[in-house]
Chains A and B, each alone.
Chain A
Amino acid sequence: MILQNKMCAERKAKLNAIKNHPYFGFVVITFLMLIVQLLRVSGLDIPVVLLRAFGFTMIYIIIALGFSILLGYGGLASLGTAGFVGVGTYVVGYLTNQFEMSIFLIVLITIVGAVVIGTIVGFISLRIEGMYLAIITLGLSEILKEVFKNATTITNGTNGLSLGTIVIFKQAIELNHNAIFIVIALIMLFIMIITLNLMKSPTGRALLAMRNSQSAAQAMGVSIFKYRLLAFITSTVYALLGGVLYMTYIGFSIPSTWSLGFSLNILAAVIVGGSQSIYGIVLGTFMIFGLNLAVLQQIPLFVENPAISVVFNGFLIIAVIMFYPGGLIRLINSMNYKIKTNYQLWKKKRRAYIYGDDPE
């Protein structure tokens, strides 16, 4: 009897350890995403639009996670995201179409490019702060957009660039959306995990210290220069990676996508969800992109009047910032807490009902 009780308790503890493991939620999210794809592969009639919506959302989650390191941890606002993502798409498109490079090599080149761009922007951020930085990065993004428009030999100008076949291990492989979806989901899982690691590590704490009090951070040995650069490089790498995934998934990139609106939407996703929580960002991205792409476009009212969904997004953003400045995740957390306490109360009442007035 004693042994059984002990074993039972231990098994429970083990289960709880798995359930409370920091990565458990990420795996669940990825699994949910994969289910949609698996159902489609297994022959269920899931509309392609829905599938694409999930694919896009995952890519945007990756980009938004990079942005959250920048904004939520580094305290640096940037509006250059769109330009950076655009660079990622064109790098893949150009290198694949012209040189038939292997996708792994391209990813490597992209990361190197991202480090270079991130370093440049990081240097700029050392001189310029706050709102000014946002506008300067907006300018940078506009420059990139002009380049996309005008450097027609690389980007095919305003007609948009479409991707040929991807090359893996010197073999051209036809675009298979299903396979890429799974790859994207796995990459998203990976990115979520390393982002969480980063946020909980000394680096994340140093970034927060920098955001809260620069002088205290410096006195504690945190180099502002290094960590600003680090924040920008990380977020740029995420953005360019997002661009690469976008291009491989959709196979088409056009300059008008990479405008201010895209950057603002990413910013909105991060702020609406909650800039310091990964679940918050997942939620925010779903609210801003996923909901619109997956749900609203299925409802006839919204299909006929696309303006309404835009207005809905606008109202959502304003309402969240007006009434829940910490983001929706804080609202959900507080609601969760309320539900839990209410459940406890209900349980107590229930016990009182069954066992009489004084249960212990």
Chain B
Amino acid sequence: MFITEGFWRSIILFILGLVVVYFILNVTVFKKLQNKSKAQNILLNVFVFLGVLFLFYKLYSVIPEIINPPQFYAQNILNRTLYVCVLALATTGIVLIFKTSNTTNFAQGMIGAVGAFVAAKLVIYFTATYTTMGNTPMILLALVGGALVAFLLGVFVDVVIIRNSKMPTVVGKQMITMGLVLIFTGVIPLIFGTIPMSVPKLVYGDNIAFTLLGLELVITPNALAALVITIVVLGILFIMLRVTKWGLGVRATASNEVVASMMGVNTKMITAMSWGIAGLLGGIAATMWAPNTSSVGVDLMIPTQVNGFMAAILGGFGSFVGPLISSMLIPVLTGLLSFVALGWENAVVYAVILAIVLFKPLGLFGKQVAKKV
């Protein structure tokens, strides 16, 4: 159906061309410049942007004329809304924990999955007791319940385990979260039983059609609801980070934990809250994502977890906005890549991320910190 001929060749040629131009410029022009690193950085940014843009353009150009390319393209991007929301929430959680505890939390997905299990249990409970309750309020309540449990679990993990470990190194903390993954994998079936449970969608109903820039697009009400929830949650979170004392504390802890604690910032409280909020975000993400699988399982969030890490590294752990943008980019790219490489989307996206990170080690939005000898 798609015109895939010459697609890969042109992509690879374009990228190689960019690399060659970059190196030539490096050797010829930049050697003489005063502000070498700055100019290099700008050029790199431009080139990476060009590369990604070219990829998107090429993906657009493979769509045959018959099926109205602009509309098809936009619709395909729109179809990924739900996953974008889920990934954005999960990634933000990972970045939040990285900023305050300087570790990558492998248990993030598992904590979220526990939230989804609780939500599923709550749904079963609600349907049994309050038969008159509508679907949407019920699932919203379950969502809140699951998220709260995930919040408590996050706080619990930080207060009881991470904080009490002796001389935790960076890798050590990582390993602790990995051990948590194992414990959760074992404990969840014991607590919630082996009977398959499922979470219903947020909203059921007909697809909502609308026109944007002359394109007739449709979106599922469920995705729309997820989008609204995500925007609200992330909006509140970012406002909190900007405005409240806690947000200031997070930023201070992220820049230097020891100094922050000496300045009177209650870093313990900040870290615990961050773990809690990360858990909460994970719980919401897992509950929203759960309807897409037939039943809620322990491996519900594992692919999302990996994608979240990749998004965080692509955007750069240094900022919140970078990972957020990356977590929009990744699902969209994966969706579009299914035109040309069905089954290989993830591999291609990871390879693209790898290539970008090779040139920009601190991510798209990371900033270089000078090293001192």
Contacts and interface: CB of A to CB of B under 8 A. Distances in A.
Interface string B166-191: 11111110111011111111110110
B185 A268 contact: no
Interface stretch (A123-131, A172-180, A343-351): A123-131
Contacts of B312: 135
Interface stretch (A1-9, A201-209, A243-251, A315-323): A315-323
A52 interface: no
Given A136-B313, A139-B353, A315-B183, A131 B161 contact: no
Contact of B161 (A136, A264, A318, A324): A318
B358 A146 contact: no
B181 A127 contact: no
Nearest to A288: B182
A135 B104 contact: yes
A146 B181 contact: no
A136 B354 contact: yes
Interface string B91-108: 000000010000110100
B26 to A, nearest CB: 15
A138 B106 CA distance: 12
B263 interface: no
A325 to B, nearest CB: 5
Interface stretch (B14-22, B113-121, B340-348): B340-348
Interface residues of A, number: 45
A305 B317 CA distance: 39
A318 B176 contact: yes
A134 interface: yes
Interface stretch (B125-133, B196-204, B205-213, B302-310): B302-310
Contact of B181 (A215, A308, A314): A314
B306 A142 contact: yes
A142 B346 contact: yes
Interface string B211-248: 00000000000000000000000000000000000000
A149 interface: yes
B373 interface: yes
Contact of A325 (B167, B185, B190, B362): B167
Contacts of A130: 170
B309 to A, nearest CB: 5
A154 interface: no
A134 B175 CA distance: 12
A48 B167 CA distance: 42
Contacts of A131: 98, 103-104, 170, 174, 317
Contacts of A342: none
A260 interface: yes
Contacts of B103: 131
A150 interface: yes
Contacts of B317: 131-132
A173 to B, nearest CB: 36
Interface in A137-151: 138-140, 142-143, 146-147, 149-150
A317 B361 contact: no
Interface residues of B, number: 49
Interface string A104-142: 000000000000000000001001111110111011101
Contacts of B185: 307, 310-311, 314
B338 to A, nearest CB: 13
Nearest to A316: B179
A142 to B, nearest CB: 6
A146 B344 contact: yes
Contact of B175 (A215, A310, A311, A317): A317
B165 interface: yes
Interface in A321-351: 321-325
Residue among A308, A314, A315 with max Cβ neighbours from chain B (10 Å):
A314
Interface of A: 71, 77, 124, 127-132, 134-136, 138-140, 142-143, 146-147, 149-150, 215, 260, 264, 267-268, 271, 305, 307-318, 321-325
The 10 closest A-B pairs by CB, nearest first: A314-B182, A311-B186, A317-B179, A314-B183, A146-B347, A307-B186, A310-B186, A322-B165, A318-B179, A314-B179
9 contacts: A124-B358, A131-B317, A132-B362, A134-B174, A146-B350, A150-B343, A314-B186, A318-B176, A318-B180
Interface of B: 98, 103-104, 106, 161, 164-172, 174-176, 178-187, 189-190, 302, 306, 309-310, 312-313, 317, 343-344, 346-347, 350-351, 353-354, 357-358, 361-362, 373
Given A124-B358, A310-B185, 19 more contacts: A77-B174, A128-B358, A130-B170, A131-B98, A131-B170, A132-B357, A135-B104, A135-B310, A136-B357, A140-B354, A267-B178, A271-B172, A307-B189, A311-B182, A314-B185, A318-B183, A321-B172, A322-B165, A325-B166
